[in-house]
């Protein structure tokens, strides 16, 4: 059964944790889907982990559509959510609805995600009214990196914490079906989870959220450099890949690869004829 906004809501009610990972391509999404992941997020983090930008800001609608199509094709049971990139929803409400519609129509994803609280509630409301489920995103919102002054924990002081609670209530009222809480103190995220009827999905927000999300390159040690404190490295796939690439380079240079078992045969008689016809030396 495909996961839906309703099945996620049910999970919250039954106290079952929601599992979510980012995905950006067909093969990886297929693997994750076959493992039973509930939600795959085609995050605009693809700007950094797939395209090599320093931030998510340069990501375009075309980038999102290209990757979201591939992920949606792979999923049998996971619900696929696509991020709305920077400036695809901030400029105006009609533009936000039109761009959310493109992600649904052109990619086949089931929902969109956008960053922000009360400020983007008109957009959330209009997109939800167009029958497009919207996941909200609060706390550290990477598209606001310049305004926030860096990748920092959000909601630590009283005023910030109160604003986060208000924003969480506002996005729920506006019609969001779930909300990502990124880099928020665990106690505050647990309080927001208790206050909301919709599920919360945490990243760096402690175990009190209704679900968890990680960027898969971080959990598999595939992205160069230090990863944030909240990342647990489940496997060092980067090292496994590096060893395989090195072995391939060495074996190709030495002639050990390809072996006979990796090739295809042609009848000796045909080859002899071809050689004669081409004027090559006889075997
Ligand atoms: O873009 C992304 O990958 C995200 C997750 C970190 C939640 O928004």
β-bridge pairing 79-83 and 211-214: unpaired
For residues 49-57, give the mean pLDDT: 97
Query: Nearest CA to 230 among 149, 147, 153, 136?
Result: 153
pTM: 0.96
Query: What are the chain's domains?
Result: 5-235 (3.20.20.60), 241-282 (no CATH)
Cα(277)–Cα(283) distance, integer angstroms = 13
Residues annotated as catalytic are: 182
Res 227: pLDDT? 84
The predicted structure's pLDDT at residue 283 = 65
- pLDDT > 70 fraction of the chain, expressed in percent and rounded: 100
What is the CB neighbour count within 10 angstroms for residue 163? 16
Higher-confidence position of 205 and 150: 205
203 C-beta closer than 6 A to ligand 1: yes
Q: Residue 158's pLDDT band (boundaries 50, 70, 90)?
A: very high
- CA nearest ligand 1 atom 1, residue: 43
pLDDT exceeds cutoff 90 at 198: yes
The residue contributing the CA closest to ligand 1 atom 5 is 43
């Amino acid at each position: 059964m495909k996961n839906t906004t309703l099945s996620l809501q049910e999970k919250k009610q039954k106290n079952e944790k929601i599992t979510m990972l980012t995905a950006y391509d067909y093969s990886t999404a297929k693997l994750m889907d076959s493992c039973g992941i509930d939600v795959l997020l085609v995050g605009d983090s693809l700007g950094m982990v797939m395209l090599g930008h320093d931030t998510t800001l340069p990501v375009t609608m075309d980038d999102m559509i290209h990757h979201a199509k591939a992920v949606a094709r792979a999923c049998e049971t996971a619900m696929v959510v696509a991020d709305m990139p920077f400036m695809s929803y901030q400029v105006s409400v009609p533009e936000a609805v039109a761009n959310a519609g493109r992600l649904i129509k052109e990619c086949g994803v089931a929902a969109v995600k956008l960053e922000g609280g009360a400020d983007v509630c008109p957009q959330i409301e209009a997109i939800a009214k167009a029958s497009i489920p919207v996941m909200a995103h609060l706390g550290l919102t990477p598209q606001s990196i310049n305004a926030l002054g860096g990748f920092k924990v959000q909601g630590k002081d009283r005023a910030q914490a109160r604003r986060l609670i208000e924003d969480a209530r506002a996005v729920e009222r506006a019609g969001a079906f779930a909300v990502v809480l990124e880099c928020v103190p665990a106690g505050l995220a647990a309080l927001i989870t208790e206050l909301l009827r919709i599920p919360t999905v945490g990243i760096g927000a402690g175990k009190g959220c209704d679900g968890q999300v990680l960027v898969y390159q971080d959990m598999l040690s595939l992205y160069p450099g230090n990863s944030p404190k909240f990342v647990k490295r489940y496997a060092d796939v980067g090292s496994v890949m590096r060893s395989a690439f090195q072995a391939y380079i060495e074996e190709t240079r030495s002639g050990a690869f390809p072996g006979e078992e990796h090739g295809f045969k042609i009848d000796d008689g045909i080859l002899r004829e071809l050689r004669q016809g081409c004027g090559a030396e006889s075997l």
